[in-house]
Amino acid sequence: MVSVIMLIGTFMAPAADALELTKAMDAALALDKLAIDKLADDHEFCRRIHLDLVGRVPTTAETRKFLAAPAASRRAELAKGLLASPQFTEVWASTLHLILMERLGDNAEWDGFLKEFASSNRSFRELTAQMLDPGAATAPKGSGFFLSKRLENYGQNPVDYPALTRDVGRLFLGMDLRCAQCHDHLTVPSYKQVHFQGLYAFTRQMVLGEAAKATIGEKPVAGKVSFSSVFDMEKMETGPSLPGRKPLDVPEVKAGEEYAVKPDRKTKSSGVPKVAMMPLLAKAVTEDDRLARTWANRLARVLLGRGIVESPDFDHPGNPPALPETLDAMASALRSGMPLKTWLEGFVNSRLYQAPSGPAAGTGAAAFSRAPERPLTGEALAASVETALGNGKRDEARLKRFRQVFGHPPREPDEAGHPSVEKALFWRNDPAVRAMMAPMSGNLMERLLKLEGPALAEELFLSLLGRPPSTEERDAVLAAVAKAPQPQEGRRIAVWALLASTEFQVNH
């Protein structure tokens, strides 16, 4: 997947509001008592931002061009250029998909919905409203996938309301209320049973249409949600409400009077509820301060390798953010309606994002003074292999294989990139890896066959790791190449060793 980023004009300053976000974030660092003593070097930065914004390592041409640009402005310019590339839209639609759907499944219209959002100037508030009220006239096709897939169950029951309720809380409010369904949360005092039940008062009316077609409807339910704690059995009830907020003032519907227009089998009309909950939920969530904070935290987590609030599902006073002021700055920008691209532009120009790679110097705020190793997703790894080896256009079968080996399975902890024997065996013995190593016109192997000595090592490292080798690395690689019986075998050994190295498989 090689493409050349077209830079428009010679110098592009960050958009004004992106610049404001960068400034606000940098200023907040001091308040958060985090000193980032130095920034990532240019090689590190160039590789990092490529992987983050366009989901692959840079080509050698891109790296060299970046290094040749004026030092004062090249980072901001590169960010802007990458944000304008078509690859950005694709990669960030996929990133949002992973955040929101956690590999529960795919849907072409949903993918289109996210791509449109990633390239638009629309706010996260609008995105969220469309996901939570996909029945609205303005909601694009595919926006219903979130609710329908989250409601669709996996085990014995066709639908799973507790899971949907939990996921709405997790993903939009940063509160995993799963354990507060039957009683107040045992270890998080601020998570109450009434919080879960108040959210459930919204979700309980939803009915699964066809998950595959991402359709979801409403079937009215009369009365309030009544519940009691399994511990004291005291009877309680609530109307629809977000955690910690007053229940909405909605007309209470009595049994038998749930419909404004009753369903009609003859006309196959599903009827019109007197009180539709999805629009109310969408309104309540998008007016809530926690939405922007949760989005900011989740986006930052993708780019920093850890949440400012970690885990992002447990935002509560007992688990405060490591960088509260910085998180506020990031959230405020989203709250003000800043679109994804602008926000990312502001973010990647911040000192926080540009912290140097290395092990954390401490915990809490200090952990953010260094950028950790972030294992690449299967998608990023596949694209990076294609880019680094220069074998030409994207190979769908290979992408599938990389996803299979390196992606995390649905409903499993998001921990792609962990070392495993399976991955070691893949690099060692999978025919797909072997096939990539053959010399082809213009590819890396062919280029390397024409090079010797330090130039060979330089090209190899720049292609795969986006940086020149250290002396020690250069010597090790050249020794291995020299020892091989044929030139091609020597280069194959070197390319494979770098592909299979830890550094190639992480962003740092």
Partner 1 sequence: MNFLSEHRFSRRSWLAGMAAMAGGLARGNTPSDKQLLLIWLDGGLSQLESWDPKPGTRFGGPFRSIPTSVTGIRYSEMLPLTARHADKIAVVRNMSTQDNSHSAGVARIQRGDPKNRGVDYPYLNVAAGRWLGPKAAGMPASMVIKPGNGGFLVSETGFLGARHASLALGDGKPPPLLDRSADITAAEDDARLSLRDTLDRIGAKARGSSLAVANSETYRLAETLRSRRDLFDPSRLDAKSVERYGDWDLGRHILQARGLLEAGVRIVKVISYGWDSHGDHFNGSMSLMPKLDRPLSALLEDLSARGMLDHVLVVVFSEFGRTPRINGHLGRDHWPEAWSVAMAGAGIIPGQAVGETTADGVEVKGQAFDIGHMFHTWFAALGVSTSAVHYEQNGQPLPLAHEGTHAVRALLRRPPEHAK
User: Residue numbers of the site for partner 1 (CB under 8 A)?
Assistant: 154-156, 176, 178-179, 183, 185-188, 305-306, 310-311, 313-314, 319, 357-360, 372-375, 408-409, 411-413, 415, 417-426, 428-431, 434, 470, 472-473, 476-477, 480, 483-485, 489, 492-494, 496-498, 500-503, 506, 508
Residue number with CB closer to partner 1 (444 or 498): 498
Q: How many CB atoms lie within 10 A of CB 402?
A: 24
Residue number with CB closer to partner 1 (320 or 392): 320
Sequence-distant (≥ 6) Cβ neighbours of residue 472 within 8 angstroms? none
Between CA 339 and CA 118 the distance in angstroms is 8
Residue number with CB closer to partner 1 (341 or 370): 370
Q: Are 390 and 399 in contact (CB under 8 A)?
A: no
Q: Which residue, among 413, 417, 410, 418, has the nearest Cα to 101 in the 3D structure?
A: 410
Sequence-distant (≥ 6) Cβ neighbours of residue 349 within 8 angstroms? 14, 18, 19, 22, 75, 76, 79
Shortest CB 402 distance to partner 1, Å: 14
Residue number with CB closer to partner 1 (7 or 493): 493
Main-chain dihedrals φ then ψ at residue 195, nearest 5 degrees: -65, -45
Residue number with CB closer to partner 1 (12 or 476): 476
Main-chain dihedrals φ then ψ at residue 217, nearest 5 degrees: -130, -170
Provide the 3-class DSSP secondary structure of residue 246: coil
Residue number with CB closer to partner 1 (277 or 498): 498
- How much of the chain is in helix, strand and coil states, percent to nearest 5? 50, 5, 45
Shortest CB 491 distance to partner 1, Å: 11
Shortest CB 418 distance to partner 1, Å: 4
Shortest CB 155 distance to partner 1, Å: 3
Shortest CB 117 distance to partner 1, Å: 26
Pairing of β 225-228 and β 272-273? unpaired
Shortest CB 427 distance to partner 1, Å: 8
Residue number with CB closer to partner 1 (99 or 484): 484
Shortest CB 28 distance to partner 1, Å: 22
In terms of Cβ atoms closer than 10 Å to its own Cβ (0-12, 13-18, 19+), residue 163 is: middle
Residue number with CB closer to partner 1 (119 or 377): 377
Provide the 3-class DSSP secondary structure of residue 227: strand
Between CA 335 and CA 248 the distance in angstroms is 22
Provide the 3-class DSSP secondary structure of residue 261: strand
Residue number with CB closer to partner 1 (125 or 467): 467
Main-chain dihedrals φ then ψ at residue 448, nearest 5 degrees: -65, -30
Q: Which residue, among 251, 299, 256, 144, has the nearest Cα to 208 in the 3D structure?
A: 144
**ω before 226 within 30° of 0 (cis)?**
no
Shortest CB 305 distance to partner 1, Å: 6
Shortest CB 154 distance to partner 1, Å: 8
